[in-house]
Structure 1
């Protein structure tokens, strides 16, 4: 019953994990705000949901346009009266060597993955505090706990999310606000196809590990019970999750393993 009639705002809702979360939450009776850049795809996701169409608001949003977030938040409040759960899911990956990636592509990735998430959170959370409850969720990655070749800016953006949202949790817990950081392993989405190469263009290739990964629907079904239980940090994936613990207890061993691993 945790999600029944809750207003849940999902960024990156037009595909992948965000789309799967929309369907899973819709089945649990949540009211949804669907955000991403592609309005037509958001409308498709809405049509695939059941129930009253008024319980789903399509709210196009570009995470690089943070100056519009106050306006978008006001639209959400006008439609639903408030937001109970914010899921910061929108993001982009990278496949480029650290010394070869141009600064424009690095800044673009950070703008989407880090600055976009914290700017939207800053726009939404004050109203949660006024109401005395709320839940902020950020979809990070196992790359928020360690790093591999080809993903320097991506890993940096996820590490930054952990630092900022860990601090936020300590500041707003007294106000009835929960903060959950979710670290997926490999999930079968287009994240690799959309990853930025060194010059900022898209890779347009599916990563080998993602081809065999769990589906976004399976990920969503595993995630929702953990969120409703109020878990602060959540790991969902396959054997790659073990790397989180190797990093903590045996960092040199993990480095040796990763140096010998195919990380595309």
Structure 2
């Protein structure tokens, strides 16, 4: 009797769709003059903000891991609504976490946010070094040990010296993870001196080409980024056609090695 040979099936394709959004606390800006003419919107809630969040929630269903910047943690300008939680629940996404940062009395309270279809093993908050406190980074870990996938969400300062310190700090945090993603509004171009410093200190890779995200109505600058380590393959990067704030949302689809991220599965994603 001959022994039958059983073919070994290849590991299933493991893809993640990522989205990074600076949502400006739900406000919509379509030209520079509106920073002044609509300045009252910065401190007051409104139906237009809720409509904007609802439109964004419909889009989030297409993604697996979403990083938010400038989400309101619950203050006057959002009607005391935790916008990260609202978006997660409205989109039907099971996991969310937020990192409140700079609070301005009860008028505004900015936060970084994580929304995920996948259950993180841990989520940690880190204050970023800055002369003016209030910037932070949120680090989610999917899986454990050397096979863990680390996803960091950050919103960096406007000054180059502060960004250099902040990216140095982020590099130190991520250098222990072979498989890492950094996404957010980094407020700098991919070929700036501070980004070069980041790439020299950890295994994150510079993008193949810049993707323009700011201002949303006529993008001229690549300020928002989804950066990955060399072990993760980026298939495509694009901006969403809808503008939800003064930044375009940045999306990416990546492939993971079969052992990375623990029990990551993207089954059940709504298209």
- TM range, smaller chain: 0.3 to 0.5
Point out the structure with the larger strand share.
2
* Pair member with larger Rg: 2
Considering fraction of residues, name the structure with more helix. Answer: 1
TM-score by length of 2: 0.38
| TM-score computed with the length of structure 1 as normaliser | 0.39
